[in-house]
Amino acid sequence: MPLVRLSLLRGKPRAYRDAIVDNVYQAMHESFNVPKDDLFMIVSQHEPEDLIFDRHYMGMERSDDFVVIQLSVSNTRNQAQKNALFARIVERLQVNPGIRPDDVLIHLLEGDKGNWSFGRGLAQYVL
């Protein structure tokens, strides 16, 4: 179960934000073995002074469409699966809502399966 945090500059319309959510989820489902209905995302919008990023780090040309995608996941996937996820997210976001690849930063946070509780105070993955 990935827990996804999306951070972007304030002011994008609802349809734009929904497209990001939908396409990140579809990319996870297609390339990262995330099951249907496993959808947990937090969308945060920030003022320009609160979302600070270098517009040229690592040779990129970042714009005000910059989005940070942080996924907390269980450490059960190999590097090829991670690479496939990164590529698929960028591909889908480029189509809809039209975010340039340079404007997509993705970060995976990996942890043990026992670190998750989906409710009721239980660690369902390790029961």
Q: What is the pLDDT of residue 115?
A: 92
Residues belonging to the active site:
2
Q: What is the pLDDT of residue 127?
A: 87
Per-residue pLDDT of the chain (127 residues; tens, 9 = 90+): 899 999 999 999 999 999 999 999 999 999 999 999 999 999 999 999 999 999 999 999 999 999 999 999 999 999 999 999 999 999 999 999 999 999 999 999 999 989 989 899 999 989 8
CB-neighbour burial class of residue 118 (10 A; exposed 0-12, middle 13-18, buried 19+): exposed
**Number of residues in the chain:** 127
- In order of 48, 75, 101, the CA distances from 40 in angstroms are 25, 18, 23
pTM for the full predicted model: 0.94
At 71, is the secondary structure helix, strand, or coil? strand
Write phi, then psi, for 5 (nearest 5 degrees). -115, 125
Residue (of 82, 95, 71, 74) closest to 31 by Cα position: 82
Which sequence spans correspond to the domains of the chain? Answer: 3-126
Q: What is the pLDDT of residue 6?
A: 98
Report the CATH fold assignment for 3-126. Macrophage Migration Inhibitory Factor (3.30.429)
- How many Å apart are CA 32 and CA 82, to the nearest integer? 7
Q: What is the pLDDT of residue 25?
A: 98
CB-neighbour burial class of residue 79 (10 A; exposed 0-12, middle 13-18, buried 19+): exposed
